[in-house]
Amino acid sequence: MNQTIDTELWRPIELSIALAFITTALLLILGAPLAWWLARSKVWWKEAVATLVAMPLVLPPTVLGFYLLIALGPNGPGGYIASLWGGRTLAFSFPGLVIGSLLYSMPFVVQPIRNAFEAIGDRPLEVAATLRATPWQSFWRVAAPLARPGFMTGAILGFAHTLGEFGVVLMIGGNIPDQTRVLSIAIFDYVETSQWALAHMLAAGMVIFAFIVIFSMMIIEKNVSGSRE
Amino acid sequence: MTASENIRIFFRDSLGLLSLDVAFEAPMKGITALFGPSGSGKTTVLRCIAGLHRARWGRCEIGSDIWQAEGYFRPVYERRIGYVFQEASLFAHLSVKNNLLFGMQDKNEDRMQSFSEVVRLLGVEYLLNRMPIKLSGGERQRVAIGRALLSGPGLLLMDEPLSALDTASKEEIMPYLERLQASLDIPIFYVSHDMNEVDRLADHLVLIENGHVLASGSLAKLQSDPSLMLASRPHAAVSLNAEVVSYDSDFKIARFAINGGFLNAPSQKLEIGDRRRLKIYAGDVSLSRAAASSSTIDNHIPVRITDFRETEPAQIIVFMALGHEGSGERLLARITKKSWATLGLDVGQRLYAQIKAVELFRRSDQ
């Protein structure tokens, strides 16, 4: 039984959390410069880029998953990348899931950070420049700290959406234990095969987990912004 | 003074409705006020000097330092400026202390010394650990001024630092500004649309209207220039730099030496040699042919009429120079057209100016 619980319950949970953490971390690193550019650039085509970033909000996950499957497969760029270390495809693999999640969760991270950067306005950055801060220093010492609520929101939403995604993961990852069998897939699988007890445990665990994450973030945010006053 | 020791400004650009075309020089010391109505472009000029706006054509020389020239534009963060914005614009995520420290490049002993000095000068010691949101408008602006000073500027730019404040906060900050002016040896550019502030603070004045420089020169010269509107405004006045020569502690009257004469004014205890700025409104000056001795008016100074202008309603602004030779400071009097005619006054005549009231301010060092 212990063996079963370990593989049946804990492995999907671990996999999901690992996926969500890696995706969120990468999105914060890649998304912050993108959000900064979207907030501050004056080029006319930046809204086209913003639209591309937002597409996953509207597209059915199956559509995204379908194109990703082609892109990651042996004949797509993903296959070429995989061949670099002797693999055949990025589809049905954990790195493939990370790439899919990055695209799928990007709007949830980029949008709040962009809004936060826009809300700062020009003034604090002008002040920083008159105080001899280089653009790089201005970003780290002024823009990033002032946009912190946006980063928080982006991180929470990105994490939660990655954890909860089902359609894209199913399309490009399948259901390979230890590789792509994440939590949402496992729950679906247990329901399909009438293993209600396991499905219940995972589902209830998700509900509690989601509540704790969002609740504690709210408390933290409230305390931090409270100390500013 | 050689030309390279001046600040030389030229900017030309078109921004929306404003077409900016300004060129002027200002000394490398004291306060230069940029004065003009709202929308005249004075803030834009200041932003161009700071490098916050890049004028399409421009040249900006601070002494021998060139900040902008054809094909050259030094970025804001490489210009040794302090900039005080209209709204204090403190960093909301930093305490007062960290706001003040933000622009300090190195925090060695010398710099920390100047930190305590600035903190004392602006009276913000008791605020150091607070967050900006907890400060009053006046306190915020004082911190903003301190923050700008602590970045070690070679030129301080102030964009209407008082205009966002109520009267009480303005009066709270004014003394700090005057102290600042007296204790700093860097040039200050001060944008304002309030001539009272200018009369009180400025040494040099640049009049800006509609994106153009109307006139530029020493404050006293422009205040008493017959061709400008300044002398005809309702509260026209001249500002005179004066030094205390004696003090009568029984009556609390100080006697001031100015270029071309002496003036008495009631004052708290002053030491001989103290410097003050005197402001004399045109409406507080009357003219007589003789040096009246029995009058409640304390000040009778020989003057010579240099010019006059008619103004509404049926009044005359008389331009005078102190001393019967007319070699001293300029003075203005507002009298009625009737008095002008009755006394038969005209340019070149020697008279006595009776000065009813003198306002005293701190004074910058020359």
Sequence-ordered list of residues with C-beta below 8 angstroms from that of B22, at least 6 positions apart, any chain: B9, B10, B11, B12, B41, B45, B208, B211, B212, B213
Q: Are residues B275 and B330 in the same domain?
A: yes
- Chain B neighbors of A130, CB-CB under 8 A: 50, 52, 76-77, 81-83, 103, 148, 151
Whether the Cβ atoms of residue B243 and residue B275 lie closer than 8 Å to each other: yes
Token pair recorded at residue A41: 């650039």
Report strand pairing: B155-159 vs B188-192: parallel
Side chain identity at residue B216, one-letter code: S
Domain count, chain B: 2
Domain edge (last residue) among B223, B256, B283 = B223
Give dist(CA A184, CA A104) in Å, integer: 15
Domain tally, chain A: 1
Residues B80 and B189 in one domain: yes
CB B148 within 8 A of CB B84: yes
Kindly report the CA angle at B112 between B110 and B115, in degrees rounded to 5? 115
Question: Which residues, numbered 114 to 153 in chain A, qualify as contacts with chain B under a Cβ-Cβ cut-off of 8 Å?
Answer: 123-124, 126-135, 141-142, 145-146, 148
Confidence band, pLDDT 50/70/90 cuts, at residue B366: very low
Q: What is the pLDDT of residues B264-314, one digit of tens each?
A: 999 888 889 888 899 999 999 999 888 776 677 778 889 999 999 998 888
pLDDT tens-digit map of B220-274: 999 999 999 888 888 899 999 899 999 999 999 999 999 888 999 998 888 898 8
* Domain identity same for B274 and B183: no
User: Which residues in chain A are closer than 8 Å to B93, comparing Cβ atoms?
Assistant: 142, 145-146, 148, 228
B32 and B112 fall within a common domain: yes
Residue B248 domain-assigned? yes
Q: Judge whether A181 lies within some domain.
A: yes
Residue B159 within a domain: yes
CA distance B321 to B261: 10
- The reply to whether B217 and B250 lie within a common domain is no
Domain's final residue, options B165, B191, B223: B223
Q: Before B313, cis peptide (omega within 30)? A: yes
Show which of B176, B192, B223 is a domain's final residue: B223
> Within a domain: residue A208?
yes
Select from B49, B102, B157 the residue whose CB has the most chain A CBs within 10 Å, as the one to mutate to test that interface. Answer: B102
DSSP A162: H
Is B83 in the A-facing interface, judged by CB distances under 8 Å? Answer: yes
Residue (of B10, B7, B30, B28) closest to B20 by Cα position: B10
B217 with B314, same domain: the answer is no
Residue type, B231: A
Q: Is B85 near chain A, with CB under 8 Å? A: yes
Q: What is the mean pLDDT of chain A?
A: 88
Residue A127 lies in a domain: no
Closest CB to A129 among B76, B131, B134: B76
A142: closest CA of chain B, how far (Å): 7
Q: Which residue has the tokens 């220093």?
A: A137
Distance from CA of B30 to the nearest CA of A (A): 21
pLDDT tens digits, one per residue of B314-364: 899 999 999 878 788 999 999 999 999 998 889 988 999 999 889 888 765
A183 belongs to a structural domain: yes
| Confidence band of B365 (pLDDT split at 50, 70, 90) | very low
For residue A63, is pLDDT > 70? yes
* Chain B residues within an 8 Å CB radius of A129: 51-52, 75-77
A139 within some domain: no
The pLDDT assigned to A82 comes to 80
- How many residue pairs bridge chain A and chain B with CB atoms within 8 Å of each other? 61
Does a structural domain hold residue B366?
A: no
Does B171 share its domain with B318?
Answer: no
Instruction: Quote the domain boundaries for residue A98.
Output: 2-41+50-121+147-228
Residue type, B27: P
Q: Are residues B317 and B199 in the same domain?
A: no
- C-alpha angle with apex A12: A32 to A207, nearest 5 degrees? 75
- Per-residue model confidence (pLDDT) at position A3: 60
User: Residue B179: beta bridge partners?
Assistant: none
User: Cα(B124)–Cα(B116) distance, rounded to whole angstroms?
Assistant: 10
- CA torsion, ordered B337, B340, B342, B347, to nearest 10 deg: -150
Q: Is residue B232 part of a domain?
A: no
Domain assignment present for B334: yes
Phi, psi of B136 (to 5 degrees): -80, 165
- Strand pairing partners for B355? B285, B299
Question: Is A42's Cβ below 8 Å from some Cβ in B?
Answer: no
* Same domain membership, residue B27 and residue B106: yes
8 Å CB contact between B35 and B193: yes
- For chain B, the average pLDDT equals 89
CA distance to A91, B32, B136, B158, B204, per residue, from B173 (Å) = 67, 18, 12, 13, 21
Q: Are residues B204 and B296 in the same domain?
A: no
Domain span including residue B33: 3-223
Give Cα B104 to chain centroid, integer Å.
27
| Side-chain-side CA neighbours of residue B321 (13 Å) | 14
As a whole number of angstroms, the distance between CA A15 and CA A20 comes to 9
B339 vs B246: CA distance, rounded Å: 35
Q: With a cut of 70, say whether residue B1 has pLDDT above it.
A: no
A166: in domain: yes
pLDDT 10s digits, B44-90: 999 999 999 999 999 999 999 999 999 999 999 999 999 999 999 99
Does the pLDDT at position A226 exceed 80? no
CATH number for position A176 = 1.10.3720.10
The answer to whether the beta carbons of residues A39 and A118 sit under 8 Å apart is yes
Give this prediction's pTM: 0.86
| Nearby residues of B252 by Cβ (< 8 Å), 6 or more positions away | B266, B267, B268, B269
B264, part of any domain: yes
Do B47 and B153 belong to one domain? Answer: yes
pLDDT surpasses 70 at B3: no
Bridge partners (DSSP) listed for residue B84: B158
Query: Over the stretch B8-51, which tens digit does the pLDDT of each residue have?
Result: 999 999 988 889 999 999 999 889 999 999 889 999 999 999 99
Q: Is the CB of A123 less than 8 angstroms away from the CB of B83? A: no
Contact A228 B131 (CB under 8 A): yes
Reported confidence tier of residue A98, pLDDT bands at 50, 70, 90: very high
The two tokens of residue B36 are: 């003009």
The total number of residues shown for chain B amounts to 366
- Distance, in Å, from the CA atom of B314 to the CA atom of B336, rounded to the nearest integer, reads 6
3-state SS of chain B is CCHHHCEEEEEEEEECCEEEEEEEEECCCCEEEEECCCCCCHHHHHHHHHCCCCCCEEEEEECCEEEEECCEECCHHHCCEEEECCCCCCCCCCCHHHHHHCCCCCCCHHHHHHHHHHHHHCCCHHHCCCCHHHCCHHHHHHHHHHHHHHCCCCEEEEECCCCCCCHHHHHHHHHHHHHHHHHCCCCEEEEECCHHHHHHHCCEEEEEECCEEEEEEEHHHHHCCCCCHHHHCCCCEEEEEEEEEEEECCCCEEEEEECCEEEEEECCCCCCCCEEEEEEEHHHEEEECCCCCCCCCCEEEEEEEEEEEEECCCEEEEEEEECCCCCCCEEEEEEEHHHHHHHCCCCCCEEEEEECCCEEEECCCC
Which of B105, B131, B133 faces A132 most closely, judged by CB atoms? B105
Give the pLDDT confidence score for residue B4 in this predicted structure: 55
**B252 & B210 share domain:** no
The CATH number of whichever domain residue B320 belongs to comes to 2.40.50.100
Report yes or no on A135 lying in a domain.
Answer: no
Q: Region A92-115: what's the mean pLDDT?
A: 92
In this prediction, residue B131 has a pLDDT band, given cuts at 50, 70 and 90, of very high
Check A131 against B85: CB less than 8 A apart.
Answer: no
